[in-house]
């Protein structure tokens, strides 16, 4: 098999891309490190009230204390479990409903105003009602997370399904393709980028549902730690919980990005 030699210009181009990515990563890490250092210095020099804002060293000490006792992993594990269930269920159910609306134009038109109204409603305001209906505990929190993400998923995916090139669908219909074959061969592959984007959005939305639910009824979890820390004016605990939440969200987002690269390459 003949392998075309790589030109020197192409090698330099790839090296510039790698250098740019490396510089971006260095800049991102530098901003975080400088911000933490300034925060610590400002707290130690009394430029800010560390009782209200806390400081990185106190947060780190509290993190080590909770990690050593095992309390941290217990609370984080509960929140991650609730989030994963809500994230998967909300996204999956939303895609299935969107497929149903694409399949039946009649029901799509019937339910369109209801979808718009549900999307406009602040889902967090419905959390107390949902928890009363479903019950306090894991089930109420998970359903809250599902409720927050499912409507956005339905609308995004349905719009993507409807944006498929009509000429491609007519071509398949000309060859006698069934509606399921059109869905499988054209509609779903076309909507993969939108599906990935919806997954990224749903990471944050499902966490909103989980944290709000834990604010209201939970006796464990990251949301519970934030509420408890605020009630006893232990801002170290609040800030530690927020940092952990941000880290978990970043890891989940990175996981979706890796999945996106693999899926898009396969799709091509």
Which pLDDT tens digit goes with each residue over 95-133? 999 999 888 888 888 888 888 888 887 777 777 788 888
The residue with tokens 């730690």 is 225
CA distance 87 to 224: 19
Question: How is residue 190 written in tokens?
Answer: 């076309």
Q: How confident is the model at residue 34 (pLDDT cuts 50, 70, 90)?
A: very high
Q: How confident is the model at residue 266 (pLDDT cuts 50, 70, 90)?
A: low
Residues 54-267, CATH architecture? Orthogonal Bundle (1.10)
Q: How confident is the model at residue 48 (pLDDT cuts 50, 70, 90)?
A: confident
The conformation of residue 123, written as its DSSP 8-state character, comes to G
In this predicted structure, the answer to whether residue 207 has a pLDDT above a threshold of 50 is: yes
pLDDT value at position 2? 46
Residue 7 phi/psi, 5-degree rounding, is: -75, 160
Q: Which residues contact 54 (CB under 8 A, 6 or more apart)?
A: 43, 235, 236, 238, 239
Side-chain-facing half-sphere of 42: CA atoms under 13 Å: 16
Q: What percent of the chain has pLDDT over 70?
A: 96
CA distance 205 to 200: 9
pLDDT value at position 50? 77
What size, in residues, is the chain?
Answer: 268
Question: How is residue 183 written in tokens?
Answer: 């869905």
pLDDT digits (tens, 9 = 90+) for 65-104: 888 887 788 888 888 898 999 889 999 999 999 999 888 8
Q: Classify 81 in phi/psi space as left (phi over 0), alpha (psi -120 to 50) or beta.
A: alpha
CA distance 155 to 205: 14
In this predicted structure, the answer to whether residue 191 has a pLDDT above a threshold of 80 is: yes
pLDDT value at position 96? 93
Q: Give whole-number Cα distances, 149 to 81, 122, 199, in Å.
A: 16, 12, 10
pLDDT value at position 268? 57
pLDDT digits (tens, 9 = 90+) for 131-141: 888 777 778 88
pLDDT value at position 164? 82
pLDDT value at position 217? 78
* H or E segment to which residue 233 belongs: none
pLDDT digits (tens, 9 = 90+) for 126-183: 777 888 887 777 788 888 888 888 888 998 899 888 888 788 878 887 887 788 888 8
In this predicted structure, the answer to whether residue 1 has a pLDDT above a threshold of 50 is: no
Mean pLDDT for the chain overall: 84
Task: Please report, for the chain, the start and end positions of each structural domain, with discontinuous segments joined by +.
Answer: 1-48, 54-267
- The pTM is what? 0.80
Q: How confident is the model at residue 6 (pLDDT cuts 50, 70, 90)?
A: low
């Amino acid at each position: 098999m003949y392998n075309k030699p790589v030109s020197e210009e192409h090698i330099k181009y790839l090296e510039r891309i790698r250098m740019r990515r490396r510089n971006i990563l260095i800049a991102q890490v530098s901003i975080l490190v400088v911000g933490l250092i300034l925060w610590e210095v400002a707290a130690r020099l009394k430029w800010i009230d560390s009782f209200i804002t806390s400081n990185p060293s106190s947060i780190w000490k509290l993190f080590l204390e909770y990690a050593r006792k095992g309390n941290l992993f217990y609370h984080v594990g509960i929140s991650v479990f609730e989030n994963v269930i809500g994230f998967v269920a909300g996204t999956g159910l939303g895609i299935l409903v969107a497929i149903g609306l694409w399949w039946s134009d009649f029901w799509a038109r019937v339910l369109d105003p209801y979808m718009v109204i549900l999307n406009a409603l602040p889902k967090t305001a419905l959390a107390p009602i949902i928890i009363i209906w479903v019950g306090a505990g894991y089930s109420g929190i998970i359903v809250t997370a599902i409720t927050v993400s499912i409507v956005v998923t339905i609308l995004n995916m349905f719009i993507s399904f409807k944006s498929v090139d009509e000429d491609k669908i007519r071509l398949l219909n000309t060859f006698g393709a069934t509606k399921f074959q059109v869905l499988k061969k054209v509609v779903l592959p076309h909507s993969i980028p939108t599906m990935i984007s919806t997954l990224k959005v749903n990471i944050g939305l499902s966490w909103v549902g989980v944290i709000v639910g834990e604010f209201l009824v939970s006796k464990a979890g990251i949301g519970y730690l934030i509420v408890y820390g605020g009630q006893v004016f232990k801002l170290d605990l609040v800030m530690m919980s927020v940092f952990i939440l941000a880290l978990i969200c970043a890891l989940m987002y990175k996981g979706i990005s890796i999945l996106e690269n693999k899926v898009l390459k396969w799709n091509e």
